Amino acid sequence: MDTQIQAAFDDAKHIVFLTGAGVSTASGIPDFRSANGLYSQNQNAEYYLSHRYFASDPEGFYEFCKKNLYFPDAKPNVIHEEQAALTQQDRATVITQNIDNLYEEAGTKHLVDFHGNLYHVYCEKCGQTVPVEEYLKSRIHKLDDGPLRPDIVLYDEGIKQQNIIDAVKAMQTADLVVIVGTSMKVYPFAGLLEYRNKNAKVIAINRQKLSFSFDFEMVQEDATKFFEELRV
C-alpha cells in the first residue's frame, strides 16, 4: 500500500466511496457490462430491464430477473467489509450502483443504493413490502393479487429524489472521494462527480485506467488486493 494513499485514508474525516459492478465480481456476481456480460450476450437486456417491458410482459420480466439478477449464494467480500467498517466509524458513506444487497449484508451504516435494491420487494397495488423469498416463489402478492416488483430503477424510470439528495450532500461534504470498480460512464451516477467538494482528493481504484478532466490518483489494480492491504 502506497504510504501517501494510506495517509489520505487515515486523515480523511468524510470519505465517499462511489462503487460499481467491479466491487461484487469478487463475490461471484458478474459485471453485466463486461465483454462477456449479460449486456453483451443479450442485446435486448436493457429492454428486458425496462419499465416498458415490466408493464407489457410482467411474467417475462419476472422470469428474466429471477434467472439473471439474483445470486443468493453471494457473500460480501473484503471490499464491502472494509468500506462498511469505515462507515461504522462514521467516517464514510457508500454510494453504489450495485443492486445486490451485499453492502447491507456487510453492515454498511451510511449507504445510498443509487439504483435501488433487488432484495427490497413491494406490491405495486398496496405498497406493502414482502420478503424476497416470497417474490422468488411468485410475482403475485398473495394478500391482494397485486404485482410484486423489486425496488430497483428500471430503464425509463427516474432515480429516487431522496437518493439524489443524499448522494449530492455526501459528495459536497467529502474530503476524500474513492471510485471503486466502476468506469463512471453511466449517468446520472457519473454526474455525481460534478458535485464533489473541489478540495477533496480523488482516488480511482479500477482494473481499467480511467480518465477525468480534473486531477486524481489512478490505482490500476484489483480492488480486492487494495482493500486487503488498506489499514482501516
Q: Which residues are catalytic?
A: 115
* Amino acid letter, residue 49: L
Query: 166-170 contacts: CB < 8 A, separation 24 or more?
Result: 166/112, 167/95, 167/112, 167/114, 167/192, 167/195, 168/192, 168/195, 170/14, 170/16, 170/93, 170/95, 170/110, 170/112
Handedness of CA 43, 44, 48, 51 (dihedral sign): positive
* Amino acid letter, residue 214: F
* 3-state secondary structure (DSSP) of residue 144: coil
Phi and psi angles of residue 130, each rounded to the nearest 5 degrees, phi first: -135, 155
Q: Report the C-alpha gap between 178 and 184 in whole angstroms.
A: 12
Q: How far separated are the first and last CA of the chain, in Å rounded?
A: 12
Cell triple for 191: 454526474
| Helix, strand, coil percentages in the chain from 3-state DSSP, rounded to 5 | 40, 20, 45
Q: Report the C-alpha gap between 33 and 172 in whole angstroms.
A: 29
